[in-house]
């Protein structure tokens, strides 16, 4: 902010990030304070952890783990809690490899369910979509048959050369998103959206 008489202001930061601020005061006669060498204050924004599609927290984005966890959870999400929780644990037990080089602890089925439920209820921060965070096709619904398969399919082809990945992502979009959709996202839109949650 420049040339203001305000003595405070609100800055909406992103959860998990830190921001540093300083001020340079000017009195009524025009004397100006020297720009400080360090911040007057540093603030860390608390709140929800930034979302990524790394559902098992190992720093990798694998179709055979993260894609299937996402797809599988969306398939069982509407089941009664006792059954959903049991099946989510089975997904975790069967899909997440317990490697000796793993740095973070293995997530439980409950960890994955809580993480995804939090993501499902959050609004996307991406400028590409204003819908629910994991609503990859941006139709207002989160479904295994579209959103789950889009992520799984994209993660399978993510490492391919650009021209091939782009072509296959468009084929995914063409085959999974219903023909009657007005202004459906393109394969490039889907790739850009998913990549915005891969860090």
pLDDT exceeds cutoff 50 at 128: no
Q: How many Å apart are CA 27 and CA 25, to the nearest integer? A: 7
- Tell me, what's the pLDDT at 14? 56
What mean pLDDT comes out for the span 18-29? Answer: 81
pLDDT exceeds cutoff 50 at 129: no
Q: How many Å apart are CA 197 and CA 189, to the nearest integer? A: 13
Contacts of 175 (CB under 8 A, 6+ apart): none
What mean pLDDT comes out for the span 56-84? Answer: 94
Asked if residues 70 and 64 have their Cβ atoms less than 8 Å apart, the reply is: no
Out of 12-26, 40-54, 87-101, 128-142, which region has the weakest mean confidence (pLDDT)?
12-26
C-alpha gyration radius of the chain: 22
What's the whole-number average pLDDT of the chain? 85
End-to-end CA distance of the chain: 30
Nearest to 53 by CA among 43, 45, 63: 63
Confidence of residue 160 (pLDDT cuts 50, 70, 90): very high
What is the reported pTM? 0.73
């Amino acid at each position: 902010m420049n040339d203001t008489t305000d003595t405070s202001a609100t800055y909406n930061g992103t959860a998990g990030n830190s921001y540093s601020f300083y001020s340079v005061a000017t009195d009524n006669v025009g004397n100006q304070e020297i720009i400080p060498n360090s911040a007057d204050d540093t603030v860390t924004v608390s709140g929800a952890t930034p979302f990524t599609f790394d559902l098992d927290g190992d720093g990798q984005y694998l179709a055979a783990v993260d894609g299937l966890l996402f797809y599988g959870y969306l398939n069982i999400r509407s089941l009664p809690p006792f059954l959903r929780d049991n099946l989510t644990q089975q997904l975790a037990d069967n899909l997440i490899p317990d490697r000796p080089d793993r740095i973070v602890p293995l997530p439980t089925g409950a960890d994955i369910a809580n993480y995804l439920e939090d993501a499902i209820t959050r609004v996307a921060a991406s400028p590409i979509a204003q819908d629910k965070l994991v609503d990859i096709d941006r139709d207002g619904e989160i479904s295994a048959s579209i959103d789950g398969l889009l992520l799984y399919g994209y993660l399978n082809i993510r490492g391919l050369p650009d021209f091939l990945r782009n072509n296959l992502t468009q084929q995914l979009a063409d085959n999974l998103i219903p023909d009657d959709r007005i202004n459906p996202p393109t394969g490039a839109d889907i790739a850009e959206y998913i990549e915005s949650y891969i860090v």
